[in-house]
Amino acid sequence: MKLAFSTLGVPGMPMSEVAALAQTCGFQGVELRAHPEEPVHPGIGAKERAEVVETFAAAGVEILTVAGYAKVAAEGEDGPVLEEVRGLLELARDLGARYVRVFPGAGEDVGGGDERAARRLGAAAESADEYGVRILLETHDSHRTGVDAARVVAAVGHKNVGVLWDVMHTWLGGEDPVTSYGVLAPHLGYVQVKDIASADVTTPLALGSGVLPLDECLAQLGGSDAAPGTAGADDDVWVCWEYEKRWYPEAAELPGLLVAGREFLALRAPAA
């Protein structure tokens, strides 16, 4: 199992500091939040992109994901959504990232959202294939369960479109880890972990100090249901700690929690 953390936990931190933090704390990768308020986003130029690549390469840390905010199931015209996704894919290509994260965002129109998301993801899949990047639909908002997200991705049926399993959202959706993994395994890119006090109090906590069934979720990885090239199919299983400090400024600072979090996850690595 390889470990990453999201820069959502260190909002605004310069990339040199992020890379050094990952290296020092024993994380093999990072998930870069691609938002204009962050140092890395689709609006930066070629020079800045090359500098980011050099920074992480020097630290021996992989840029796992460009975590975007495109809502592929949202109502409206396809054009702006596809343009946003293409910008994220180009950024991921230039940074050498494996994945681009997108959200559903269908609101109350889940049925119509399925069709919109599948159509848009299918349209973007060929560019993703050309760039050597995989688009991952996160279990989130209108499609927070594994069943919901897998239904969309299965309809696309393209190897460069998969799912990002956010374990908090599947739990909040009332889905148990065995069910989540069972439907997501053929499509799974990697897993986002976190911990919270309750369904009503979602301020981020140190891993293992809250109510999320992290042991059961992590125990699913490495299962025989995984498709070739997906998480669990081999030793290249990625788990990313998404500590949502950006949305909860009162939460403890992430850097001081990273070593203990890495140890928590390493102890739960799936057996070879």
Distance CA 62, CA 53 (A): 9
Tokens of 137: 């639909």
**Domains, the chain, with CATH or none:** 2-266 (3.20.20.150)
Global pTM? 0.95
Output the pLDDT for position 233. 47
Nearest CA-CA partner of 52 in 92, 107, 109: 92
- Please check whether residue 196 is in contact with residue 210, taking contact to mean a CB–CB distance below 8 angstroms: yes
Residue 200 bridge partners (DSSP):
none
Burial code (b: 16+ CB inside 10 Å, e: under 16) for 7-45 equals bbbbbebebeebbbbbeebebbbbbbbbbeebbbbbebe
Enumerate residue ranges in the chain where pLDDT < 70: 223-235, 271-272
C-alpha dist (Å) from residue 150 to 23, 139, 218, 247:
34, 9, 19, 27
pLDDT tens profile 85-143: 999 999 999 999 999 999 999 998 888 999 999 999 999 999 999 999 999 999 999 99
Summary mean pLDDT of the chain: 95
Output the pLDDT for position 260. 98
